[in-house]
């Protein structure tokens, strides 16, 4: 078999090719070709990705060599490189596509589904990175780390903060985890040394499973009203869009905080701005925005009781560079006739 690895600014092509270094993959792959999806800097690659996400994989050109290389390839591995139908039409031998991402916006899934070609993805590649960041945001927001830093850098020795009279420690706090998937569970694991009580709300996870792990399974109303800090780890769907609105924010404790590193649409931003202005809650930490880059006049930026960051949670070298290794593990399963754990289009593996 022949494999093609397409690298980029975040995962160099040599790193992408590491998925073919898996011992069980090497049994099948005898030839590897590498190519680069070139961008001069992070600004350019982010711009290209926003264009692809908005307009599809045809919106940005793929590397000029990719069409030629795919004519003989059995396996394609990409990260951010666009994979449009116009290129896939020439990939007559292609058996499987691997992506070092959870999302597949840059891949023409319809073209692959028509040919029943599976797409192995890696939604878990940045789990640890995001979990660490969530804990960091909890501490940064409740302990005023960013506000103190900003004041001192501008020449002010600041003593008064929005929560000065009730600055909490994590120890002894009730932490509400809304969504108990891989990242939610990783956050809980990171929090164990802090001696906190964990409340979990996830209708898709069995109560017994949560309680067997030593945590408390609750409904959304209880999570909102009892938690000192709430962290969101829910997929954005039509049913979850705006799931945290005015009613939910009003039901939280005045001393509580909310953290969102998941998807911007989960929280009604107008309601959150109102809640922070009127002190329904003590604060928030937000890493994701509906429009990115966020406009300079975003209403959250004018508030003193919120920590804002520009979608940094999963952005670590470890998260990017370990993705090819994780892909290799899943690809090995596929090549040996087993079903990978992570497939973006699992229906293509079902009998017709």
Q: Among all residues, which ones are annotated catalytic?
A: 263, 292, 311
Phi, psi of 26 (to 5 degrees): -60, -20
d(CA 256, CA 273): 15
d(CA 154, CA 350): 60
Distance of CA 37 to the CA centre of its chain: 22
Contact 232, 240 (CB under 8 A): no
The Cα angle at residue 191 between residues 186 and 192, in degrees rounded to 5: 100
Identify the three-state secondary structure at position 119: strand
DSSP string, 18-43: GGGGSHHHHTT--EEEEEE---SSHH
d(CA 209, CA 232): 19
State whether the Cα torsion 337-341-345-351 is positive or negative: positive
Tokens representing 64?
Answer: 């000029």
Tokens representing 6?
Answer: 């397409």
Phi, psi of 267 (to 5 degrees): -110, 135
Tokens representing 41?
Answer: 């800097």
Q: Which 8-state DSSP code applies to residue 71?
A: T
DSSP string, 187-242: HHHHHGGG--EEEEE-TTS-HHHHHHTT-EE--HHHHHHH-SEEEE-----TTTTT
State whether the Cα torsion 64-68-71-76 is positive or negative: negative
């Amino acid at each position: 078999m022949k494999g093609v690895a397409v690298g980029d600014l975040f995962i160099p092509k040599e790193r992408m090719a590491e998925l073919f270094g898996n011992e069980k993959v090497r049994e099948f792959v005898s030839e590897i070709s590498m190519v680069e999806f070139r961008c001069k800097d992070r600004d350019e690659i982010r711009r290209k990705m926003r264009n692809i996400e908005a307009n599809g994989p045809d919106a940005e050109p793929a590397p000029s060599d990719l069409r030629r290389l795919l004519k003989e390839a059995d396996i394609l591995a990409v990260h951010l490189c666009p994979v449009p139908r116009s290129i896939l039409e020439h990939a007559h031998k292609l058996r499987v596509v691997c992506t070092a991402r959870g999302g597949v916006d840059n891949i023409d899934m319809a073209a692959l589904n028509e040919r029943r070609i599976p797409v192995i993805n890696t939604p878990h590649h940045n789990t640890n990175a995001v979990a660490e960041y969530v804990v960091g945001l909890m501490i940064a927001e409740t302990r005023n780390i960013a506000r103190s830093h900003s004041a001192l850098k501008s020449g002010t020795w600041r003593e008064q903060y929005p929560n000065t009279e009730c600055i909490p420690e994590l120890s002894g706090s009730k932490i509400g985890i809304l969504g108990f998937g891989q990242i939610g569970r990783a956050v809980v694991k990171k929090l164990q040394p802090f001696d906190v009580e964990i409340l979990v709300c996830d209708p898709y996870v069995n109560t017994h499973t949560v309680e067997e792990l030593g945590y408390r399974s609750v409904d959304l109303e209880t999570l909102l009203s009892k938690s000192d800090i709430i962290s969101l780890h829910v997929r954005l769907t039509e049913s979850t869009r705006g799931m945290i609105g005015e009613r939910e924010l009003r039901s939280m404790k005045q001393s509580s905080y909310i953290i969102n590193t998941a998807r911007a649409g989960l929280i009604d931003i107008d309601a959150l701005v109102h809640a922070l202005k009127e002190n329904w809650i003590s604060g928030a930490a937000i890493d994701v925005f509906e429009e990115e880059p966020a406009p300079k006049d975003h209403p959250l930026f004018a508030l003193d009781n919120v920590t804002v960051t520009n979608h940094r949670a999963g952005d670590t070298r470890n998260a990017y560079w370990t993705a090819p290794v994780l892909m290799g593990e899943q690809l090995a399963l596929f090549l040996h006739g087993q079903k990978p754990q992570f497939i973006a289009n699992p229906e293509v593996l079902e009998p017709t």
